[in-house]
Amino acid sequence: MLDERYTIDALKEVYHARWGIEELYKISKNMIVVDDFHGRSERTVKQELFAHFVLITMSRLCTNESENLLNSLLNLQPDEMDPKQTIQANFKNSLATMSRHLEDIMFVPARCIKKVMDDIVSSISRNHQKLRPGRSYIRKSKKPVNKWRGCESTA
């Protein structure tokens, strides 16, 4: 890594490029609990895994549509967006919304699918926040402290 062919800016770019992959792992593991399969055979595990990825993909598509809608309401064009003004939809909410409406998407008559999708995007759009790039303060965990932490055995 000390090779002079690679500039600091190039390394920064590579580091930030992996962010999307890391986020997919986080979503898969923590939000959807993709490592806790119900099926026992290879086939059923694959089926469940693909179903999770379809849910994530559909949620991401609706989240992107929601963000485009919110930012267009603020008259922000994609090429002139200031990161401090950009609105970002809550992806965890998007997954929950998509999970709630998945049956509707699958079984609604074809003529009604646009309304269902518009309802989903509208629901996702209600839970949003401003993008806050470059935060440098230490984030405080709100996770409850384990009261038994100090009672570990030394045996």
Q: What is the pLDDT along the chain (155 residues), one digit of tens a residue?
A: 566 788 888 888 888 888 878 887 788 777 777 777 888 899 998 998 898 889 999 999 999 999 888 888 877 665 665 666 677 888 889 999 999 999 999 999 999 999 999 999 999 988 887 777 777 777 777 877 777 765 554 44
The predicted structure's pLDDT at residue 117: 94
DSSP 2: -
The predicted structure's pLDDT at residue 10: 86
The predicted structure's pLDDT at residue 80: 62
Contact between residue 63 and residue 89 where contact means Cβ atoms under 8 Å apart: yes
Cα gap 21→147, rounded to integer Å:
35
β-bridge partners, 89 = 128
Work out the burial of residue 104: count CB atoms within 10 Å of its CB; fewer than 13 is exposed, 13-18 middle, 19 or more buried. Answer: middle
Q: Which residues contact 39 (CB under 8 A, 6 or more apart)?
A: 45, 47, 48
DSSP element (H, E) containing 137: none
Contact between residue 86 and residue 75 where contact means Cβ atoms under 8 Å apart: no
